Chain A
Amino acid sequence: MEHLELFLKSIFIDNMVFATFLGMCSYLAVSKKVSTAVGLGAAVIFVLAITVPLNWLLDQYLLQPGALAWLGEDYADYDLSFLSFIMFIATIATMVQLVEIVVEKFSPSLYNSLGIFLPLIAVNCAILGGSLFMQSREIPTLGLATVYGIGSGIGWFLAILAIAAIREKIRYSNVPAPLRGLGITFIITGLMAIGFMSFGGMLTGDNEKIQDEKQAVLPKEDIKTLPLKDNENSDEKKEEKVLANNIKK
């Protein structure tokens, strides 16, 4: 259950592109045709599914404060977490290279379709972002880390597939000349991101952390500035009034 929840959450709610804007460079550059978008998306799922669990192991047994305890008592209070950037990016670059060699050897047809995208992926922020979010959200087990990697990969895949399909169609519409190409893509992505925000209500667990940005939207001042005469009414009515005020906004 926990795994399924994290899986859905990483695809829809914390979608790499629409919620955190990771991997935007390749998202914008490679989304002109659906076929290439599918290739890159598949490669991203593949690499994320490998690197996130691998970096989880690195983080757990090498980098965290006290992670070196398995080497012996003397090492128990080492804190190597400042090395995590360089370790993560090294893992990612090596894995990408390794995956490229393995795929080339065993499945030349897949290699030909992914070919040019694989080396690009080493510098895709979605990949490093996946590992860094895994670290900062303190994902507890290896299984969850794998699920998180695959889920964010699928989320990225969905996003690039959707924008590529829209961009193929949009060439038939009459977009204002200066907005054509990049400009309209930005605005469509913004609108899609607003759409994806509605998934935020899908899972409302008890210990769900509300992001600071989202909290800021609720006009807090309304609660303070409610007219005093409301005090005599029941609490229920007060809540209703706050709600109504919020909706009006």
Chain B
Amino acid sequence: MGLLSKKDSKLILDPLADNNPITIQVLGICSALAITAELKAAIVMAISVMAVLAIGNVAISLLRNIIPSKIRIIVQLVVVAALVIIVDLILKAYSYQLSKTLSVFVGLIITNCIIMGRFEAFALANGPWRSFLDGIGNAAGYGLILVIVGFFRELLGSGTLLGFKILGDPIEKTGLYAIGYENNGFMLLSPMALIVVGIIIWVQRSRNKALIEDH
């Protein structure tokens, strides 16, 4: 990347794999699981979190020398809550159906541990530009897992991707359904999200032995 120095591009690339917020740092799991039955909801959620995290990181980074450390949690919560209200209103205005699907999980971005975690761990100690990159990177790592889980759950669960019928029509028995393929309705149930994430962790740690925990 010519635009970014090596140190800066590391901020974006690290959270995508070796320091992924979901599989390694164990942050922000709640929303990753509940809304991934459809790929579209997962993508919208990832974009919302990216907007909130990047802007919030910059705001906290600018305020970092003014906030007294005793009340920093309340200040952080207010910044996030304000940003999330904006995201919620935008979603309601432009994509009402989707905001119904996401229901309370848009509001729960406020308590998404990724956001508070990055504020505490990064934005309070770094300048605005680096905080911005860190926000984008971590939200992208989070979004990556969301999209992978959403992809498998929607493809195997309802045979569609973003609503398009990829595997043929289950009612008219075209495509794969003609040779006896059936949708696995189980994938649409929320517990399967946990198991899919578990498998992602398994694959990732088998490829990178350094990440294995002893117990």
Contacts and interface: CB of A to CB of B under 8 A. Distances in A.
Interface string B72-106: 01100110011011001100000000000001100
B33 A217 contact: no
Interface in A206-229: 213-214, 216-219, 221, 224-225
A93 B74 contact: yes
B164 to A, nearest CB: 17
B201 A183 contact: yes
Interface string B109-128: 01111001000000000000
Interface in A28-67: 28-29
Interface stretch (A128-136, A145-153, A236-244): A128-136
B108 interface: yes
Contact of A214 (B189, B214, B215): B189
A25 B28 contact: yes
A165 interface: no
B205 interface: yes
Interface stretch (B43-51, B57-65, B133-141, B191-199): B191-199
B205 A22 contact: no
Given A125-B111, A190-B195, A197-B189, A21 B34 contact: yes
Contacts of A83: 85
A23 B108 CA distance: 10
Contact of A82 (B89, B191, B197, B202): B89
Contacts of B74: 90, 93
A184 interface: yes
Interface centre among A19, A119, A180, A224 (most CB of B within 10 A): A180
A83 B113 CA distance: 21
A129 B190 contact: no
Contacts of B185: 216-219, 249
B194 A129 contact: no
A181 B213 contact: yes
A20 B191 CA distance: 10
Contacts of A11: none
Interface centre among A85, A93, A187, A217 (most CB of B within 10 A): A85
18 contacts: A18-B191, A21-B33, A22-B30, A24-B30, A82-B88, A83-B85, A128-B107, A128-B108, A128-B111, A129-B111, A177-B212, A178-B205, A182-B26, A184-B198, A189-B191, A190-B195, A213-B188, A216-B37
Given A25-B30, A183-B205, 9 more contacts: A85-B81, A90-B78, A93-B77, A128-B107, A132-B108, A194-B189, A216-B37, A219-B185, A221-B170
Interface of A: 18-25, 28-29, 82-86, 89-90, 93, 119, 122-125, 127-129, 132-133, 136, 171, 176-187, 189-191, 193-194, 197, 213-214, 216-219, 221, 224-225, 249
Interface of B: 23, 26-30, 33-34, 37, 73-74, 77-78, 81-82, 84-85, 88-89, 103-104, 107-108, 110-113, 116, 157-158, 170-171, 182-183, 185-186, 188-195, 197-199, 201-206, 209, 212-215
